[in-house]
Structure 1
């Protein structure tokens, strides 16, 4: 065996990406393609009365302008289509920026110009756009994807009444948007009754299923291709209206159509993190043992759906507590439907980890020690032990590397020149999913292997890690393995969301590799021309492309396959289970009191993610998560005009995200175990979203330690500190 799994192997697709050879969805060349552009509603609630397309149709290069009167009637898919209506099927307007017309032209510029010439007359109604304006209408939504919105264990109200110490606070976060650098794009190509979509999506199988249902097609008549993504963060997980509308426009026009959303259109077309309020109460003993957790969260939903994407898992499951009551309420607003956004539980987890810090300050107990006293080895929801949980090791490893023992407990006492210095920490945790997946592995006559699986490369390193898994399983050099992703022509696989990719596809890749290795060994030992002829198959090992047996007898993959004269093909599948990954993050901030400016100057993390398959890509996920957490804590804020329900900062000049200058060096530690010799699941857990979950609270806790000011609403902007 090669020992490749676990190494920090460089990305196998890295050269293609930095040289421009990697072809993203919008890069696919399709002959005769028309360019599409959407006309968006300028009201947030009401009715379309009239659409005048005359000037637009007369514009040079324009081929067609479609409205609700032209569009075929589509069936409403269930999830992963995340809205309970399809635009341009009727005259109703549900939010500002909803598509009301679709322009097709020979060039993108012609389509954009013509879109500005479409005139729409509306009957407008008064919209409601802020939680604060409708909190009295909060309600408990129905289950979403079989997740209840109220969970009860014990009697939290009685335990709070009897608690020796209580924390009772409200924490909040605004609407936030994903902002991947690659915009959403769809190119639709019909060939008779079959449809090919070149789509920027985190789930080619999910997208195929939704589109096929909408058009009343068999799944095999729709193919979705997405070889690379320029970021997604959840924004490209569900299927959105622009995909269905582009496929419909191409069907009507009888020609391929390409649509690339503008940056501003992305703010109303593909979800967001909903505005959120979290009222949280903790009860504890004087020794810091939790006796009660009661949390009521309130998030934006719409008048057409009740989906609550911001879960409260950590409040119910993270710490040992006998009495817990969690409620997740919704408030109907006239805004686009929200969606999953990287680490969706972060909104609620921010409140929990801030409240834990407030409790530690009230009790005079070190924040790390408080969490250790409430640590549990038992999943508080299922009652089953966590398998191999190493959160306590994470606390100790990160605290030691950070130098936490030198922390002065009293807030506002540490200064460096004219800056206040603060240290804060938080627990990190995230669920990961498992979706049944299959792989197909081919070993060709030259002894090289190709893995095919309808997973995706969202930027996390899927091409690389799966190539490592297959190369190790076969005993081939990494360069002799090619992984092909992002095409529904390959075996069905998981969506790249919910930290489910590796738990879902790594096992099937390893399974296919084991089967292929055994098949090649069987060919060799049965072939009189092979030096291994007659050797018991169980005595043969594979390494660096060679098949080795005791006594120095050897063959190679290439020679075996050349003699065989045909390829060997195997499939792989393997069950896994959903679960949790854990970690701890320690943060240093520096605050300039005269300016109210906050700088994050040092971050140390330690994570328990099971077996690390690639230390380089795993570290990249930590850096990305920390950067995301800095944006959540200090910058990101979608501003909505309360009178018109219009997003007023739909661009990267006024919706601020962290850049390199905002992000310090990150020390990432892993407490992964050595794999068991027979560990067929590779010991892997989903991890990608975990490293961002605790960062916002850790930054807020560090700010409190620096200046004694407790901030409970993100982003932590200068006005709040000044």
Structure 2
């Protein structure tokens, strides 16, 4: 063992990324590739009545224009990870503005773009409904999504609320928001007979393979016929988790033409083609004793759905899992609107969590109890849902103590508007953070070559979180090698099947298998050495052999040692091992403290300081974990202060589908972030006692900012984003 696990190792893929050596999906140069471009609908609801492609077909370089009249018939895959109930270009029905109505293919991208402007479409339009407020009377309880019911009760929340000594009844709202990764969605499809290779920007290559095979099953395509390659992603945030229609359409067009086809979505097309965070309303009623003990929570949310899908992605996990409350009733309602399909977006529970953590602050003010103390009084040592299930480990109370002390919370004057610096109002707010992570059984294989170098392969993905680095650390640590002698290969369905990189599932899904493979490979090489009369370790008991720095040596004396390279070289062929370890779902916790400064005459707000502490189980790399905190805090600032997809009420069209109108935080908006980790192993986790963590740091930031605004001004804002007009 090298002690690499836990250290803040630099990213092993960093040099490749900053030098341009890393090849993203659209970077692959394919001989004879054609370029595709989509024509999108300009209405949100209705039928295509006429479609004229003659001018587009006559444009120089155009090879084909595919519409519902000549598109390959495809099978609609089961819901999730294909998030829609229809495939475009299969019939004349229009379900949302920005739905594909034609697919233009040309020799160059510019020719395809120009020809797309020449496609003429006429519609029979129906009036759409685009805002929750216009259809709240139609709210309904959808069926369970992924076996999760949308109504859950424990105890008798209504009776407990009626008897409560103190009650809070509030509504919290948030708008539609979009992912906006730097790298747009892209697909390059290459057929060879019935075999398909996809160069795809995908958070789940194995899931993508499954969905594409299902769509083409009528043509005899099996999963084994599809290879999906995605070694790097320029961000995803959930947008690239499901497989979206553009991937299926590109594969279909390439099959029909018998040539490779590449499609890269424009920034504007990404606002209707690949999901978003749904518009959301939440009615939250809390009941408590005057000592601050929660006795009832009634949580009723309403989310934007479509007329074709009923999947609710904004989960109410926080209400169910965070605080000790005997009486809880959760209802997740939906409203059918004429909009594109929503989907998971980084920290999907944030919309619900924002309401709960703001309501807890309102309750603390009502009771005159410090916000941290109120949360401590309602801390649960076991998972409240289902009741009594023990956590593997939970050190949230320590997170409160560490972050509060580092922030200086004891100096806080609780009176709203009491803290100032010149003309600036200063507000201090905090919130608990919680994220429920999943775990999907994942396989890996590991090869130690005759050169003594190790190669780990698994069909997981690197979406920017540091997967290459952490896996390389675990392999090097388990083998007793240097990082330089280990190569990790990801993002290819030719490798052993692995988890989707979503739901903070990568570490809990993959690392246990990686560690198992490293231990098996090390043991296999040790066995070769002690059985080989030519080895200095011949005859040494296996349990007395250690590994470090690429060498095996007898524990009692380092004079008897042999290198991986020499042992495997004498063996004459590589040593291979595999891993396939199951893990359980879990929760990671934290506490975030925020300082805001507000200039009252302008309504100008800036987040000036953030301190946070987390319990993610064992921290495998402090550098990449801190990077996730910085990213999560930045994401939370965007959620709270800026991000808002604006939809025209009459046309159901997104009117700000670009980064000049859809604002996200830049460096000037983001303060220095102090991040602390409890760093205690979770004994229930097979991933070297680490839990999924990446999405945790974004969950509490919007509520902490809301609570800080109230502390600064005495004004409670419950509708994000908190823009200048609302502050004024």
Structure 1-normalised TM-score? 0.99
| CA 680–130 in structure 1, closer or farther in 2 if over 3 Å, else same | closer
Q: Distance in 1 between matches of 2:418 and 2:499?
A: 50
Q: Distance in 2 between matches of 1:631 and 1:242?
A: 28
The offset of 1:675, in angstroms, is: 8.1
Superposed, 1:557-706 pairs within 5 Å as: 557-673=564-680, 681-706=687-712
3-state SS of paired residue (2:199)? strand
Partner residue of 1:363? 367
3-state SS of paired residue (2:268)? helix
Partner residue of 2:118? 117
Partner residue of 1:556? 563
The offset of 1:551, in angstroms, is: 3.0
Conserved? CA contact 2:76–2:85, under 8 Å: yes
Q: Distance in 2 between matches of 1:544 and 1:576?
A: 30
Superposed, 1:485-504 pairs within 5 Å as: 485-504=490-509
Partner residue of 1:19? 19
Aligned pairs, number: 721
Partner residue of 1:514? 519
Conserved? CA contact 2:392–2:682, under 8 Å: no
Write out per-residue CA displacement over residues 443-491 of structure 1, whole angstroms, 9 at most, x where no aligned residue.
0001100000000000000000000000001011111000000000000
Partner residue of 1:192? 193
Q: Distance in 2 between matches of 1:651 and 1:681?
A: 39
3-state SS of paired residue (2:390)? coil
Q: Distance in 2 between matches of 1:561 and 1:447?
A: 7
Q: Distance in 1 between matches of 2:244 and 2:334?
A: 22
1:283 has 2:284 as partner: no
3-state SS of paired residue (2:366)? helix
Partner residue of 2:530? 525
3-state SS of paired residue (2:557)? helix
3-state SS of paired residue (2:208)? helix
The offset of 1:674, in angstroms, is: 5.8
3-state SS of paired residue (1:572)? strand
The offset of 1:317, in angstroms, is: 1.5
3-state SS of paired residue (1:161)? helix
Superposed, 1:145-164 pairs within 5 Å as: 145-164=146-165
1:707 has 2:708 as partner: no
Write out per-residue CA displacement over residues 413-464 of structure 1, whole angstroms, 9 at most, x where no aligned residue.
1100110000000000000001010000000001100000000000000000
Write out per-residue CA displacement over residues 191-232 of structure 1, whole angstroms, 9 at most, x where no aligned residue.
011000000000000000000010012101000000100000
| Worse-superposed segment, 413-422 or 376-385 | 376-385
Q: Distance in 2 between matches of 1:679 and 1:77?
A: 33
Structure 1 moving runs of 4+ over 4 Å: none
The offset of 1:681, in angstroms, is: 3.3
Q: Distance in 2 between matches of 1:577 and 1:137?
A: 38
The offset of 1:561, in angstroms, is: 1.1
The offset of 1:680, in angstroms, is: 5.4
Partner residue of 2:216? 215
3-state SS of paired residue (2:144)? coil
3-state SS of paired residue (2:383)? coil
Write out per-residue CA displacement over residues 527-550 of structure 1, whole angstroms, 9 at most, x where no aligned residue.
000000011111101011110102
Q: Distance in 2 between matches of 1:128 and 1:673?
A: 50
| CA 2–487 in structure 1, closer or farther in 2 if over 3 Å, else same | same
Q: Distance in 2 between matches of 1:670 and 1:387?
A: 17
Partner residue of 2:417? 412
Write out per-residue CA displacement over residues 94-124 of structure 1, whole angstroms, 9 at most, x where no aligned residue.
0000000000011111100100000001110
Q: Distance in 1 between matches of 2:539 and 2:416?
A: 75
3-state SS of paired residue (1:712)? coil
The offset of 1:334, in angstroms, is: 0.1
| CA 600–124 in structure 1, closer or farther in 2 if over 3 Å, else same | same
Partner residue of 2:329? 325
Superposed, 1:435-454 pairs within 5 Å as: 435-454=440-459
Partner residue of 1:67? 67
Superposed, 1:473-484 pairs within 5 Å as: 473-484=478-489
The offset of 1:388, in angstroms, is: 1.2
Partner residue of 1:29? 29
| CA 543–680 in structure 1, closer or farther in 2 if over 3 Å, else same | farther
Could you say what the CA RMSD is over the residues aligned between the two structures, in angstroms? 0.9
3-state SS of paired residue (1:510)? helix
1:428 has 2:436 as partner: no
3-state SS of paired residue (2:319)? helix
Conserved? CA contact 2:508–2:686, under 8 Å: no
Provide structure 2 residue ranges, at least 5 long, that are not aligned to the other structure. none
| Aligned partner (choices 306, 309, 312) of residue 305 of structure 1 | 309
Q: Distance in 1 between matches of 2:714 and 2:685?
A: 49
The offset of 1:154, in angstroms, is: 0.5
Q: Distance in 2 between matches of 1:90 and 1:377?
A: 54
Q: Distance in 2 between matches of 1:408 and 1:191?
A: 70
Q: Distance in 1 between matches of 2:562 and 2:126?
A: 77
1:130 has 2:136 as partner: no
Write out per-residue CA displacement over residues 621-660 of structure 1, whole angstroms, 9 at most, x where no aligned residue.
0000000000000000000000000000000000000001
Q: Distance in 2 between matches of 1:413 and 1:510?
A: 53
Q: Distance in 2 between matches of 1:255 and 1:592?
A: 60
The offset of 1:70, in angstroms, is: 1.0
Q: Distance in 1 between matches of 2:489 and 2:40?
A: 37
3-state SS of paired residue (1:483)? strand
Q: Distance in 2 between matches of 1:551 and 1:500?
A: 42
Provide structure 1 residue ranges, at least 5 long, that are not aligned to the other structure. none
| CA 675–156 in structure 1, closer or farther in 2 if over 3 Å, else same | closer
Write out per-residue CA displacement over residues 49-92 of structure 1, whole angstroms, 9 at most, x where no aligned residue.
11100110111111110001111111111111000010001110
3-state SS of paired residue (2:262)? strand
Q: Distance in 2 between matches of 1:252 and 1:492?
A: 29
Q: Distance in 2 between matches of 1:679 and 1:339?
A: 28
Q: Distance in 1 between matches of 2:705 and 2:626?
A: 20
Partner residue of 1:256? 260
Partner residue of 1:10? 10
Conserved? CA contact 2:190–2:198, under 8 Å: yes
Partner residue of 2:247? 243
Partner residue of 2:56? 56
Partner residue of 2:342? 338
Partner residue of 1:388? 393
Superposed, 1:341-356 pairs within 5 Å as: 341-356=345-360
Q: Distance in 1 between matches of 2:319 and 2:606?
A: 29
| CA 679–581 in structure 1, closer or farther in 2 if over 3 Å, else same | closer
